[in-house]
Amino acid sequence: MIMKTLVCLFFALLSISSMAQKPVRVAVAGLSHGHVGWIFNRKDKTDIQLVGIWETNPDLVKQFTERYKLDPKLFYSDLNKMLDETKPEAVSAFGAISEHVVVVRACAPRKISVMVEKPLATTFADAREIQQLATKNNIHVLTNYETSWYASNQHVNQLIQDGKLGEIRKVMVNDGHQGPKEIGVSKEFFAILTDPAKNGAGALVDFGCYGANLMTWLMKGERPISVTAVTHQNKPDIYKNVDDEASIILQYPKAQCIIQGSWNWSFARKDMEVYGNKGYAVAVNATTVRQRLQEKAPEETLKLEPRPAPYTDPFSVLADVVQGGLKLDQNDLYGLPVNVTVVEILETAKEAAKTGKTIFLKK
């Protein structure tokens, strides 16, 4: 009897283990975003299963079918039909930022979680609607930022949590590159980035969102008191409808954040400087930090190991969250609370730049 019970228990545990390792069924919504190649270039991983692709542009369908040797049966021109026939557990959106709310409207009632590329939405109203839909239907909506993977940013945040920097006084976040055309993005992605309706703005949204995301996280979800912003077109012949240069100042009761999003940097960069009243730390890149924690101590440079799995791959994070193996903190970089505030900051920054005035956020 005992042996029989043990055998049953063994097979039950084996069954649970097998279920836990079952790939998450994932569909793709859109192929026009420049980051979409990530999901097709991870064949060495088995944590997700691609079950469908929604794309209305036949040229993109043909291009991706040939490039990645994809089964034509994966493609759908109707989003709702794809969701109903393929029954994904999660959808990864790779279209225009303005389409994120459309994807969530379709997925949420079907209890399908969603991951979007940064930022969450083009308008604060859309961001709040996404949050309401996610809450009502009990789904996850993640926003993917490359800088969320950085060991350097995590290290700096831990220094803050441990009190080694003291209270945050000034943060500077610099993100961008030479420009979408200059680095050779696809014509479809270029069309999104340079369309103020589809992208929300130019460099202000494309790269300003990183600083808003990181600062809101460092401040544990606190919203700024005020937002000031200046935008400019250094290259109006290329970017005639959107800004290519943006500087945003976020003011808090005892801290200030300067966000510089630009399509005019000499080279691509994603770095962050945090200064407290006890010390400072600079996240130079994904795995390098320069820090000085005491007034009389010299600056030191640390070389960090990359973050462990699943944090090196957004789709692994998505799979773990959907399966319940990973629970996001209240103010996680990927989470809705932080990213709804990010969109509020960006929308306010656009208005501040347009009017030339500092705008104070309502409590």
Q: Which tens digit of pLDDT belongs to each residue from 5-43?
A: 444 454 444 444 444 579 999 999 999 999 999 999 998
Note the pLDDT of residue 6: 46
350, 229 Cβ separation under 8 angstroms? yes
**Residue 202 φ then ψ, to 5°:** -95, -115
Checking if the pLDDT of 1 tops 60, the result is: no
Checking if the pLDDT of 164 tops 80, the result is: yes
> Distance (Å, rounded) from C-alpha 173 to C-alpha 62?
39
Band of residue 319 on the pLDDT scale cut at 50, 70, 90: very high
* Every domain of the chain and the residues it spans: 24-146, 150-307+335-360
Checking if the pLDDT of 214 tops 60, the result is: yes
Note the pLDDT of residue 2: 54
Closest by Cα among 101, 63, 28, 87 to 318: 28
CA dist list (Å): 354 to 145, 200, 229, 242: 27, 13, 9, 12
CA dist list (Å): 46 to 24, 26, 209, 319: 9, 12, 31, 10
CATH of 150-307+335-360, one of 3.40.50.300, 3.90.1170.50, 3.40.50.620, 3.30.360.10: 3.30.360.10
Checking if the pLDDT of 175 tops 90, the result is: yes
Note the pLDDT of residue 11: 45
Note the pLDDT of residue 252: 98
307, 286 Cβ separation under 8 angstroms? no
Quick: pLDDT tens for 176-186: 999 999 999 99
Checking if the pLDDT of 92 tops 50, the result is: yes
Instruction: Provide the strand spans (E) within 131-181.
Output: 141-144, 168-176
Q: Which CATH architecture has domain 24-146?
A: 3-Layer(aba) Sandwich (3.40)
Average pLDDT score over residue span 195-204: 98
Average pLDDT score over residue span 236-258: 98
Quick: pLDDT tens for 125-155: 999 999 999 999 999 999 999 999 999 999 9
Percent of the chain with pLDDT over 90: 93
Note the pLDDT of residue 43: 82
Alpha helices in 194-313 (DSSP H): 196-199, 203-206, 208-218
Checking if the pLDDT of 253 tops 70, the result is: yes
